Amino acid sequence: MYTHIYYTTYEISFGGVFMNNIKTRNIAYGALFIAIVTGFTFINIPIFPQGGLLHLGYIALFPIAVVFGKRYGLIAGAFGMALFDVLSQWFAWAPATFIIVGIVGYVVGFIADGGSSYLKIVVALIVGSIISVSGYFVFNAYIMGFGVPSALTSAGGDSLKLVVSVIVSIPVIPALLEVKQRFVK
């Protein structure tokens, strides 16, 4: 008696990113990356009462987006960090986080092009950081109504978080690329 294992294939459209022929393994990777980003984001220090938060979420997101690409970057960023917002006191930020960090993950993965060069990785992380700080600045100043001075204060904390995330991610990415090449098919 023979047993056959079939991968289930789905066609999903997510925010204009078409993910054709997704196998069960890809869904598992997506879920794993969401969990990793959410878990790292829960390691945090609240620094400003209006919403500034130092967390390690980008330290997880940046390597995932660079090594596994724009699709996983988008999914891990959007769902991972928005899930943190929903499960914590930052619920009001969840829609903005979903959009802003989803874009950050996609753009970092797109520019980095699988970590093909050191320059592309650095540019991707810097551009992603600028998108994040700018996006949250606009959200805090105009949508949440905190005003520009308060949003600038929060942007300072966001910038610090992202500078640390870029510095920590740069040496992690080559190691993760090597692990992916050796173990992930």
- Three-class secondary structure of residue 3 per DSSP: coil
Reported as a single tens digit per residue, the pLDDT across 12-52 is: 445 455 555 668 889 999 999 999 999 999 998 887 665 56
May I ask the CATH class of domain 10-183?
mainly alpha
* 8 against 155, higher pLDDT: 155
Query: How many CA atoms does the CB half-sphere of 172 hold within 13 Å?
Result: 17
Q: CA-to-CA distance for 10 and 23, rounded, in angstroms?
A: 7
- Per-residue pLDDT, 45: 85
pTM for the whole thing? 0.85
Residue 113 falls in which region: left (phi positive, over 0), alpha (psi -120 to 50) or beta: left
Least Cα distance to 65 among 106, 120, 8 occurs for 106
Mean pLDDT throughout 141-145?
89
